[in-house]
Amino acid sequence: MIDTIHLLYQIKDMVEYEMLKKTLNRLRISSSYKRYDRLYYKAHLRNLELGLSPQALKIRGSLPKFYLGNNIQTLTPEQIKWSLFQLSDLLQINVFSAEVRRIDIAHCFFLGRPVAHYLDCLEETPEFRKYYRVAAQTKSFIKENYSIVFYDKKEEAKKDDERISPQYSSSNILRVELQLRKRLAAELQFEEIQAVRLLARGFLAKLVERWYPTDGAHS
pLDDT 10s digits, 22-71 = 998 888 777 777 776 677 888 999 889 999 998 999 999 999 999 998 88
Q: Strand 99-111 relative to strand 56-62: parallel, antiparallel, unpaired?
A: unpaired
Beta-strand runs (E) in 92-171: 99-111, 129-131, 138-142, 146-152
Cα-Cα-Cα-Cα torsion 35, 36, 37, 41, nearest 10 degrees, comes to -30
| pLDDT at res. 139 | 83
Q: Which helix (H) or strand (E) is 209 found in, with range?
A: helix 203-209
Number of CB atoms found within 10 A of residue 174's CB: 21
Per-domain residue ranges of the chain? 2-196
Reply yes or no on whether the pLDDT at 212 is more than 70.
no
User: Could you tell me if residue 214 is left (phi over 0), alpha (psi between -120 and 50 degrees) or otherwise beta?
Assistant: beta
Between 170 and 96, residue with greater pLDDT: 96
Q: Per residue in 59-114, pLDDT tens?
A: 999 999 999 988 898 898 899 999 999 999 999 999 999 999 988 889 999 999 99
- Name the most confidently modeled range: 123-127, 128-132, 205-209: 205-209
pLDDT of residue 134: 43
Query: Mean pLDDT in the chain?
Result: 83
pLDDT band at residue 194 under the 50/70/90 scheme: very high
Q: Give 82's Cβ-side CA count (13 Å radius).
A: 8
What's the CA gap between 155 and 49, in Å, rounded? 23
Candidates 152, 210, 204, 206; CA nearest to 177 is: 152
Name, of 12-16, 121-125, 134-138, 176-180, the range with top average pLDDT.
12-16
pTM value is 0.83
Rg (alpha carbons) of the chain, rounded to whole number: 19
The pLDDT of residue 213 is above 70: no
